[in-house]
Amino acid sequence: MKKFSTADTVGFGFMIMAFFLGAGNWIFPPMAGYLAGQEVMPATFGFLLTAAGLPLLGIIALAYAGGGFAALGRYLPNSISVLLALTVYLIMVPGFGIPRTALVSFELAVKPFVENPDSKALLAGFSAIYFTLVFLIASRPGKLLDTVGKIIAPLMLLLVAVLGINLLIDPLGTVGDGQGEFVESPVIKGFLEGYMTMDLLAAMLFGVLLINTLKDKGVTDDNAQFQALFRGGLIAAAGLAMVYFILFYMGAISGSVAEGAANGGEIFARYMAASMGPFGQAVLALVITLACLTTGVGGCCAFAEYLDERSNKIPYRPTLAIIVVVCWAMAIIGLDELISLYIPVLVAIYPIAISVVLLNIVAHRLPNPSLSFRLVISVAAVFGLFDAVAAAGVLTHLPGHQLLSHVPLFDSGMGWLVPSVLALVVSLVFKPSATTARA
């Protein structure tokens, strides 16, 4: 087995971070920081729990499981495991996640420089070029560590450092007042905003791709793969945390330019234009394009590899081409419309994803892991669906919805948490049967 060098480990961590650091990572923190105001620190802490901590746990879960979705769902019925995998892949790749990377790139790297930024034809043309680049880079998955981890990601971090230094030495203003739920419960609101980055789902999605990347580098031993994933995950989480601190602080001091902005992308673009002029806009355009492009490459590549391994009927490149074309078609919908569509979907799927990840980390200590997985995930799915109905604003149409007000944390959008913990406690009472133990 080939030794994984220190440079490879750092590059692997940067590659993971670059895959995570996609669209939502740039547009949600500035808006959240702006709305948090004086509560920016607790809000950032809550955001980091879901947007940096949970992805790290996702990577650790992959390391413990020793693979991708098939390994994460090993204690579930195969049909449920496949359904969960396809749901996450469809949400993260053609459904919302990857089209959003093209839209955010367009929002921040193209709109500030054109006279007619709302042109659908311009968006369609840019997205076509963007996804052509995604296809060309993703066509060579064995080279991702070298291209993304050792070239694109370090350049992106260097540009982010320029943004951070500018914030410290020449801030546009002072931290403003907090607004709405960020004042009432900043940690919980920040935690829920972290959902929007979809990085825990990304950790689950990239499992097969990360394992295959290690194998392409000659890392085939299970223990060596565990060490590489764990160390790479730590590097990625640290990088994500640094970026989020910068973006939250920028949002918090952007009161003079943020008023009336439709999303965090507009706040980011306005701040850079006001603070650094054309140079700042150029730096921003390059950072966002590189960040979103790497996530687009990782997502499309991961989905194509998953389908290729599951079916063995359609070759990798034609599968990749189909995925890229569908992502392009979805991107034409527009950023604000896409965000409004997927919020309830995320609220529904995230409790299941969190449960799968945490259960995988403690699976070796559970007396009956099959029962724990099935019971906890079933409860998380049901109450996550209730949370999603509430997020969609149609809870009052649900018969008996008044009873849900008695569920702890339901009003905060986390009604799934306590019932899921209780389900885990119940599952610990039951020992595996002799037949199950022998199996």
Higher pLDDT pick, 144 / 240: 240
Check whether 436 has a pLDDT greater than 60. no
Rounded distance, CA 59 to CA 245, Å? 22
pLDDT of residue 438: 42
Mean local confidence (pLDDT), 32-54: 94
CB burial readout 378-392, b (16+ within 10 A) else e: ebbbebbbbbbbbbe
Q: Which amino acid type is present at position 166?
A: N
With a pLDDT cut of 70, the percent of the chain lying above it is: 96
**Band (76; pLDDT cuts 50, 70, 90):** very high
Least-confidence region, from 192-206, 317-331, 334-348, 412-426 = 334-348
Instruction: Confirm whether pTM is higher than 0.85.
Output: no
Check whether 112 has a pLDDT greater than 90. no
User: Which DSSP letter does residue 228 get?
Assistant: H
| Helix, strand, coil in percent for the chain, rounding step 5 | 80, 0, 20
Report the candidate in 32, 24, 201 with the shortest Cα–Cα distance to residue 107. Answer: 24
Q: How many residues appear in the chain?
A: 439
Higher pLDDT pick, 62 / 379: 379
pLDDT of residue 357: 92
H or E stretch covering 236: helix 222-252
Report the candidate in 150, 144, 296, 305 with the shortest Cα–Cα distance to residue 216. Answer: 144
Other C-beta atoms within 10 Å of 6: how many? 8
The domains of the chain, with CATH numbers, are 6-333 (1.20.1740.10), 341-439 (no CATH)
Rounded distance, CA 232 to CA 144, Å? 14
- Cβ-Cβ contacts under 8 Å for 255 (sequence gap 6 or more): 34, 173, 176
> pLDDT tens across 115-165, in order?
887 788 999 999 999 999 999 999 988 787 788 888 888 888 888 888 889
Q: How high is the mean pLDDT of the chain?
A: 87
**Band (355; pLDDT cuts 50, 70, 90):** very high
Look at phi and psi of residue 334 and say left if phi exceeds 0, alpha if psi is from -120 to 50, else beta. left
- The dihedral built from the CA positions of residue 302, 303, 308 and 310, taken in this order, carries a sign that is positive
- Cβ-Cβ contacts under 8 Å for 146 (sequence gap 6 or more): 11
Check whether 1 has a pLDDT greater than 70. no
With a pLDDT cut of 90, the percent of the chain lying above it is: 36
- Report angle CA 314, 318, 320 to the nearest 5 degrees: 105
**Band (335; pLDDT cuts 50, 70, 90):** low
- Cβ-Cβ contacts under 8 Å for 133 (sequence gap 6 or more): 293
Check whether 38 has a pLDDT greater than 90. yes
**Band (421; pLDDT cuts 50, 70, 90):** very high
Least-confidence region, from 99-108, 196-205, 417-426 = 196-205
pLDDT of residue 306: 87
> What's the distance, CA 144 to chain centroid?
19
Report the candidate in 15, 10, 29 with the shortest Cα–Cα distance to residue 241. Answer: 29
Check whether 332 has a pLDDT greater than 60. yes
Least-confidence region, from 118-127, 297-306, 388-397 = 388-397
pLDDT of residue 75: 93
Check whether 221 has a pLDDT greater than 90. no
